[in-house]
Amino acid sequence: MQLFTIFGNPVSHSKSPLMHNLSFKGLEYDGCYTRYRLEDGTQLRSKFFDLDIIGANITVPHKEEAFKACDELDEFAQKVGAVNTIIKKEGKLYGYNTDAPGFLKAIAEFKEAKEVLFLGAGGTAQSTSVILRDAGYEVTILNRSAGRLERYEKEGFKTYTFENFKATENYDLIVNMTSAGLEDESLPCPIEILDIVIPKATACVDVIYGKETPFLKFAKTHKKPCKDGSDMLLYQGVIAFEHFSNQQFSFNEIKEHMQKAFTL
């Protein structure tokens, strides 16, 4: 039997073991997926070998350490500096980022969307902004503080803080890429800014899943279509499973089993 795990801290809340084990069972694949709370991310590589696992997902706060732990990186992971999926092949660790393609697929239903406003500039925004731009979207980043914006500016994104934001453009999608609302009731940016950008938007998207955030509640008061982070989570998991199972199954075959985790 092949063993897999998710490394993170905290990790007890993660849906990934359920998602992957349902797919292993449904597809009759001889695999088992567990969870591992890792305090020190620099230990990731040695733990990976000690546990004798074949593959792993990596969640907060170790995606950058996971990037450093790999021997080989796929082109996209190399570009964004964050890894959430690792496979061991012939003693080498291969790293991938499936969060960003998962998000890209999750917003594909908004077919006419082109201009996207990201609220937040953390690690998730970093990889997703790059994949969206590569796919032809125009991405603008609005963040609470200026520090994290430097990297985006260097990469040619339009960036604003709350203080210097100019709402002159129309954004089709407004995306909460922050952790605001995850464990509190805060909005990702001042309500005055949301009051300007949301009425002109086609839809509002949150990367947080499993609860209705204050951001999505507010978007609903403007009668906007809303989408939470569940599909992103599902799709990043399906793409990770494609790697785990060495591309033996189609996206839809895996999805059919994995999505049951959201109804249990």
Which residues of the chain form contacts with ligand NDP (CB under 6 A)? 60, 99, 120-125, 143-145, 148, 177-180, 182, 186, 188, 207-209, 229, 232-233, 236
From 15, 25, 63, 224, active-site residue: 63
Cβ nearer to ligand NDP, comparing 55 with 229:
229
Can you tell me whether residue 72 is helix, strand or coil?
strand
Smallest distance, Å, CB 184 to ligand NDP?
A: 7
Smallest distance, Å, CB 198 to ligand NDP?
A: 16
119: which residues sit within 8 A by CB, 6+ positions away? 142, 143, 174, 175, 176, 177, 178, 180, 188, 189, 215
Contact 58, 86 (CB under 8 A): yes
Backbone angles phi, psi at 52, to 5 degrees: 55, 45
Cβ nearer to ligand NDP, comparing 15 with 257:
15
Smallest distance, Å, CB 211 to ligand NDP?
A: 11
Evaluate the CA torsion angle 123, 134, 93, 254 in order and state its sign.
Answer: positive
Cβ nearer to ligand NDP, comparing 12 with 145:
145
Residue for token pair 């591992």: 36
Smallest distance, Å, CB 84 to ligand NDP?
A: 8
The interaxial angle of helices 230-244 and 99-106, nearest 10 deg, is 130
Token couple for 262: 């959201």
Smallest distance, Å, CB 122 to ligand NDP?
A: 2
Can you tell me whether residue 102 is helix, strand or coil?
helix
63 labelled catalytic: yes
Cβ nearer to ligand NDP, comparing 2 with 148:
148
- Cα separation of 222 and 237, whole Å? 32
Cβ nearer to ligand NDP, comparing 2 with 6:
6
Contact 232, 239 (CB under 8 A): no
Closest residue to ligand NDP, judged by C-beta, is 122
Catalytic residues: 63
